[in-house]
């Protein structure tokens, strides 16, 4: 099917291909390929969106309290009186972030979150800081959540503890494959486990609170061995702030919905905003409930048994059905928390790549309309982290959250700046930016104050992270983010340089090639040689065959055959006394290249034997590939291989 359009006197033909991708092993794993026209049907509802984009934030309730106790336990039994006040402080911070990001969702319906907000309002460098921070945090989210999920399994079945790294990497690959199937399918697959976790955690918290009110909730029986990273300590502001910084891991993932707005059904912004509020209510209530119960039962943080496990077996009086169901739900949500990163990391990578700060390949959608290259890159980086840190949550936590709070700061600062710009517009004026359209809005002052306060608050948290987690491993992220910003800027500089070189602005007319020389290297005279010769003579009348002679008798035979089959084309035989092939040929090409005049083109036509059998293919020299590698940087030299099937 085709049609013709006339444009400036030239015919433009549009065709629609009838080709359908064939069945393959890839289709068996991730599903049949989807057409581009199917994209609007791959959006998700609020119910599924909560599972896709909130699993990271919700799952953090399974380890945030434990990570606060890791620090506070140095106070002994005094630790438990500080756990609930710290949880309240974190929930207040959650409320501030929720108000701020709800505004971001409606201001930037195209998604992109902190990166887009910072880019449009603060400039490229702050935007790159936000992108580097978020991409780093997404990788850490996968590593931390999977590690924590495996820790839950090991709590119920200690025999699996030595195999935690292998299990963790296998789970990363599993989540990767599910996400390669598409946002809609991965969301549907993960929705039931997410809601199962929410229900089981509310059952656990409510049962625990009822027992507390009745006075029947005791302390944990046979707690794991007491572990303290700091030794015995006295109460100090530094200790409290350090515990607070660990607990704010519960807020990672709050920004995920603002990054993934395009995945929601219409009206996208409204659905995304409502999903954000629901997520925050669930997250805040569970954080308070779990922290309160952990303090009352005097749970002990340990690698061998999680705090959630201790709460569940205390509330349910043993390791019965409800205990197993709670740990199963927790394990599933922790593993599925990685799904939030698999949904957002590829999207953010694609947006940054479209702006030229990451490789362009990350903008390409795979067969299932997802950014498959970004998904696979995330799985690779997370697996490397799991290997390095041996799937230890405590070892990974110091690296965690600092990046996302830095992106929070960039986002809120950018939004405050945006409201300031809106406030200086006249009613009815519009200013179009890359990510949104600015219009005067009454009440901009209060919105600017909300975002400004959010920026200051999260900046303070970043400062706390930098000080109190620096020695524990935060220095890695603090150093890594500037390095990533430099790499992003270098990639952008390269793309701009290439764009300038390829630009047709002020190019003038296309230069005419005055002469076209063709060089045909031959190792013998046979059918493959003649096929290449016929092709060479279609390019130009100026064709020269070149043979590198390492054996005079063989050279004589080639000369005799060429006089019969060479069709009058000149043959140059170059003697090589040291039996070298490539070097004399390259010297000859270089000599011709030095004699080349302006607008003269040289093409090297190489007969290329092609074997359908990989084992026999290694028996043939690949001269065209070698020449291409050597001459690829030479201007106006074209290397063309003419394939000749030998079996």
- 508-525 pLDDT, tens digit each: 665 565 788 999 998 888
H or E segment to which residue 439 belongs: strand 437-439
Of 26 and 302, more confident: 302
Quick check: 55 pLDDT over 60?
yes
**Six token digits for residue 179:** 């996400």
H or E segment to which residue 573 belongs: strand 570-575
Q: Point out which residues pair with 575 in neighbouring strands.
A: 549
3-state SS of 281-323?
HHHHHHHHHHHHHHHHHCCCCCCCCCHHHHHHHHHCCCCCHHH
pTM, two decimal places:
0.75
Give Cβ neighbours of residue 417 (< 8 Å, ≥ 6 apart).
121, 122
Quick check: 606 pLDDT over 80?
yes
Band (624; pLDDT cuts 50, 70, 90): low
Per-residue CA distances from 617 to 605, 610, 613 (Å):
20, 7, 6
H or E segment to which residue 575 belongs: strand 570-575
Band (53; pLDDT cuts 50, 70, 90): confident
Residue where the block lists tokens 């003419």: 642
For residues 12 and 126, give the distance between their C-alpha atoms in angstroms, rounded to a whole number.
43
Quick check: 501 pLDDT over 60?
yes
Residues 203 and 62: beta-carbon distance below 8 Å: no
Band (276; pLDDT cuts 50, 70, 90): very high
Of 199 and 13, more confident: 199
**Six token digits for residue 242:** 């350090």
Q: What is the mean pLDDT of residues 627-644?
A: 79
- Classified by CATH at the fold level, domain 45-490 comes out as Amino acid/polyamine transporter I (1.20.1740)
Q: What is the mean pLDDT of residues 25-41?
A: 62
Of 286 and 397, more confident: 286
Residues 468 and 241: beta-carbon distance below 8 Å: yes
Band (205; pLDDT cuts 50, 70, 90): very high
pLDDT at 260 (0 to 100): 78
pLDDT at 314 (0 to 100): 94
Quick check: 38 pLDDT over 80?
no
Quick check: 30 pLDDT over 80?
no
pLDDT digits (tens, 9 = 90+) for 422-467: 998 988 888 888 878 888 888 889 889 988 988 998 898 888 888 8
For residues 310 and 315, give the distance between their C-alpha atoms in angstroms, rounded to a whole number.
9
Q: What share of the chain is helix, strand, coil (3-state, %, to 5)?
A: 65, 10, 25
**Six token digits for residue 468:** 């109190």
pLDDT digits (tens, 9 = 90+) for 377-414: 999 999 999 999 888 877 787 777 788 889 889 999 99
Task: Please calculate the CA angle 111-112-116 and round it to the nearest 5 degrees.
Answer: 115
Quick check: 27 pLDDT over 70?
no
Answer yes or no: same fold for 45-490 and 515-645. no
pLDDT at 286 (0 to 100): 95
H or E segment to which residue 56 belongs: helix 46-59
Residue boundaries of the structural domains of the chain: 45-490, 515-645
Band (266; pLDDT cuts 50, 70, 90): confident
If DSSP codes are grouped into helix, strand and coil, which group holds residue 569?
Answer: coil
Give Cβ neighbours of residue 209 (< 8 Å, ≥ 6 apart).
289, 292, 293
Residue where the block lists tokens 């490789």: 359
Quick check: 482 pLDDT over 60?
yes
pLDDT at 335 (0 to 100): 78
Residues 647 and 611: beta-carbon distance below 8 Å: yes
DSSP character string of 577-618: TT--SHHHHHHHHHHHHHTPPTTEEEEEEEEEEE-SSHHHHT
State the chain's mean pLDDT as an integer: 84
* CATH number, span 515-645: 3.40.50.620
Quick check: 337 pLDDT over 70?
yes
For residues 475 and 491, give the distance between their C-alpha atoms in angstroms, rounded to a whole number.
25
Strands 570-575 and 430-432: unpaired
Quick check: 137 pLDDT over 90?
no
For residues 368 and 28, give the distance between their C-alpha atoms in angstroms, rounded to a whole number.
12
328: buried, middle or exposed (CB in 10 Å: 19+, 13-18, 0-12)? middle
CA 96 centroid distance within chain: 27
pLDDT digits (tens, 9 = 90+) for 515-564: 889 999 988 888 888 999 999 999 999 999 999 888 888 889 989 999 99
Per-residue CA distances from 510 to 263, 499, 513, 597 (Å):
45, 18, 9, 17
Per-residue CA distances from 236 to 71, 241, 263, 472, 532 (Å):
12, 9, 46, 18, 82
Residues 391 and 148: beta-carbon distance below 8 Å: no
Task: Please calculate the CA angle 197-198-202 and round it to the nearest 5 degrees.
Answer: 115
DSSP character string of 463-504: HHHHHHSIIIIIHHHHHHHHHHHHHHHHHHHHHHHHHHHH--
pLDDT digits (tens, 9 = 90+) for 229-251: 555 666 778 888 888 888 887 88
For residues 174 and 166, give the distance between their C-alpha atoms in angstroms, rounded to a whole number.
12
pLDDT at 623 (0 to 100): 65
pLDDT digits (tens, 9 = 90+) for 57-108: 888 888 889 889 988 888 888 889 999 999 999 999 999 889 888 888 888 8
Quick check: 161 pLDDT over 80?
yes
pLDDT at 393 (0 to 100): 76
If DSSP codes are grouped into helix, strand and coil, which group holds residue 4?
Answer: strand
For residues 431 and 421, give the distance between their C-alpha atoms in angstroms, rounded to a whole number.
10
């Amino acid at each position: 099917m085709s049609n013709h359009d006339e444009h400036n006197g030239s015919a433009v033909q549009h065709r629609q291909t009838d080709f359908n991708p064939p069945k393959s092993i890839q289709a068996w794993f991730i599903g049949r390929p989807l057409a581009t026209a199917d994209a609007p049907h791959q959006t998700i509802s609020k119910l599924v969106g909560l599972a896709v984009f909130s699993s990271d934030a919700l799952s953090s309730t399974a380890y945030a309290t434990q990570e606060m106790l890791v620090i506070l336990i140095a106070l002994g039994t005094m630790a438990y009186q500080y756990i609930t006040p710290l949880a309240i402080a974190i929930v207040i911070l959650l409320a501030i972030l929720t108000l701020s990001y709800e505004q971001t969702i409606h201001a930037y319906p195209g998604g992109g979150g902190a990166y887009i907000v910072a880019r449009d309002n603060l400039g490229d460098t702050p935007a790159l800081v936000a992108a580097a921070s978020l991409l780093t945090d997404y990788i850490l989210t996968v590593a931390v959540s999977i590690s924590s999920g495996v820790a839950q399994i090991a709590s119920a079945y200690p025999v699996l503890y030595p195999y935690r790294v292998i299990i963790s990497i296998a789970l990363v690959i599993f989540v990767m494959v599910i996400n390669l199937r598409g946002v809609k399918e991965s969301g549907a697959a993960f929705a039931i486990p997410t809601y199962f976790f929410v229900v089981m955690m509310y059952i656990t918290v409510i049962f625990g609170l009822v027992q507390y009110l009745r006075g029947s909730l005791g302390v944990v029986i046979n707690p794991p061995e007491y572990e303290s990273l700091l030794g015995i300590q006295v109460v100090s502001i530094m200790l409290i702030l350090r515990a607070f910084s660990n607990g704010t891991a519960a807020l990672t993932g709050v920004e995920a919905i603002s990054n993934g707005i395009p995945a929601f059904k219409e009206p996208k912004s409204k659905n995304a905003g409502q999903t954000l509020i629901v997520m925050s209510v669930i997250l805040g209530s569970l954080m308070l409930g779990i922290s309160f119960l952990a303090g009352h039962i005097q749970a002990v943080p340990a690698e061998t048994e999680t705090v959630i496990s201790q709460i569940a077996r205390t509330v349910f009086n043993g390791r019965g059905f409800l205990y197993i169901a709670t740990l199963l739900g927790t394990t599933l949500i922790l593993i599925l928390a990685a799904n939030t990163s698999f949904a957002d990391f590829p999207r953010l990578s694609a947006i940054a790549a479209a702006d030229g700060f990451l490789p362009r390949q990350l903008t390409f959608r795979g067969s299932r309309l997802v950014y498959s290259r970004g998904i696979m890159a995330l799985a690779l980086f997370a697996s490397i982290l799991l290997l390095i840190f041996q799937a230890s949550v405590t070892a990974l936590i110091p690296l965690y959250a600092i990046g996302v709070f830095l992106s929070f700061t960039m986002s809120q600062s950018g939004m405050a700046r945006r409201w300031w710009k809106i406030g200086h517009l006249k009613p009815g004026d519009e200013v179009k930016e890359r990510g949104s359209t600015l219009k005067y809005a009454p009440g901009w002052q209060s919105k600017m104050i909300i975002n400004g306060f959010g920026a200051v608050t999260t900046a303070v948290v970043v400062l706390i992270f930098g000080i109190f987690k620096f020695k524990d491993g935060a220095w890695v992220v603090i150093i890594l983010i500037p390095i990533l910003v430099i790499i992003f800027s270098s990639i952008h500089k390269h793309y701009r340089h290439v764009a300038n070189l390829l630009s047709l602005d002020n190019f003038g007319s296309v230069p005419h090639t005055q002469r076209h020389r063709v060089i045909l290297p031959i190792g013998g005279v046979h059918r493959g040689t003649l096929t290449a010769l016929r092709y060479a003579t279609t390019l130009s009348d100026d064709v020269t065959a070149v043979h590198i002679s390492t054996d005079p008798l063989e050279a004589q035979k080639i000369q005799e055959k060429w006089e019969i089959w060479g069709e009058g084309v000149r043959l140059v035989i170059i003697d090589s006394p040291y039996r070298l092939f490539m070097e004399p040929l390259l010297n000859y090409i270089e000599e011709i290249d030095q004699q080349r005049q302006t607008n003269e083109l040289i093409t090297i036509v190489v007969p290329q034997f092609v074997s359908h059998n990989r084992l026999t293919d290694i028996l043939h020299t690949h001269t065209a590939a070698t020449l291409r590698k050597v001459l690829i940087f030479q201007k106006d030299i074209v290397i063309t291989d003419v394939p000749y099937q030998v079996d």
